[in-house]
Amino acid sequence: MVLKNKSYIPKYQREYSKEYYENNKEKCLADIRKWQDENKDKIKKHRKKSEERRREKVEEWKDNGCKKSEEPSFLKTRRMYVEKNRDRINKRRREANKIKFAADPDFWKKSGKKNKKKQNARAIAQRTELLTYCELCNSEDKLERHHNRGYDYPNDFLTLCNGCHFIVHDIILKDK
């Protein structure tokens, strides 16, 4: 089963396809899984290429001064999704944590020991006043702290707006 771009498919066929999928969901999912198993290399190449394109767009955007009007569409979409669905995302996180805790009751104790540096660095950063602007794009709204070299250096943090902080975590630090 090959999925096509919706713009090439006439409306009546799209409606039929949706109806067919709903009536034969298990078969369609089995076909998709089969195709994915047969084309793992193709999927990896596609993901790698799209990740490279995203990085290039972000680098270009950063070189141009991180202007909101020139923000790459995938970042806008992601930011809008997070803002719109914050409650749903938090609910999913809480459910995942409940599952972790059910599997290992000492989960929280262990994670606390691992995160002493993190807690210390956050406490120091909270006591230190934020700048009044983002250090990457000079925006003045939704400012956050970002620990530049990790939690081993608690006094080394940047003041970033929400958008730039997302970019730093999602794109640049994804390599690690």
The total of structural domains in the chain comes to 1
* CB contact at 8 A, 151 and 120: yes
CB atoms within 10 A of CB 163: 22
User: Does 144 map to a domain?
Assistant: yes
Q: Using 50, 70 and 90 to split pLDDT, how confident is the model at 10?
A: low
Question: With 70 as the cut, is the pLDDT of residue 9 above it?
Answer: no
Determine the Cα–Cα distance for residues 59 and 75; give it in Å rounded to an integer: 13
Question: With 50 as the cut, is the pLDDT of residue 11 above it?
Answer: yes
Residue 50's domain spans which residues?
39-175
User: Does 81 map to a domain?
Assistant: yes
Question: With 60 as the cut, is the pLDDT of residue 2 above it?
Answer: no
Say what percent of the chain tops pLDDT 90.
3
Q: What is the pLDDT of residues 55-72, one digit of tens each?
A: 888 778 777 776 666 777
Q: What is the pLDDT of residues 72-118, one digit of tens each?
A: 777 778 778 888 888 888 888 888 888 877 777 776 666 655 577 77
What pLDDT does residue 38 have? 92
Q: What average pLDDT is seen over the chain?
A: 77
Q: Are strands 143-147 and 157-161 parallel, antiparallel or unpaired?
A: antiparallel
What pLDDT does residue 1 have? 43
Q: What is the pLDDT of residues 136-146, one digit of tens each?
A: 777 777 788 87
User: Does 161 map to a domain?
Assistant: yes
13, 44, 53, 78, 160 from 164: Cα distances, Å: 41, 27, 18, 13, 6
Output 12 or 169, whichever has higher pLDDT: 169
Determine the Cα–Cα distance for residues 7 and 52; give it in Å rounded to an integer: 26
**Cα-based torsion angle of the residue sequence 73, 78, 79, 83 in order, rounded to the nearest 10 degrees:** 140
Output 133 or 109, whichever has higher pLDDT: 133
What pLDDT does residue 23 have? 87
User: Does 15 map to a domain?
Assistant: no
User: Does 20 map to a domain?
Assistant: no
User: Does 21 map to a domain?
Assistant: no
What pLDDT does residue 48 have? 87
User: Does 1 map to a domain?
Assistant: no
User: Does 29 map to a domain?
Assistant: no
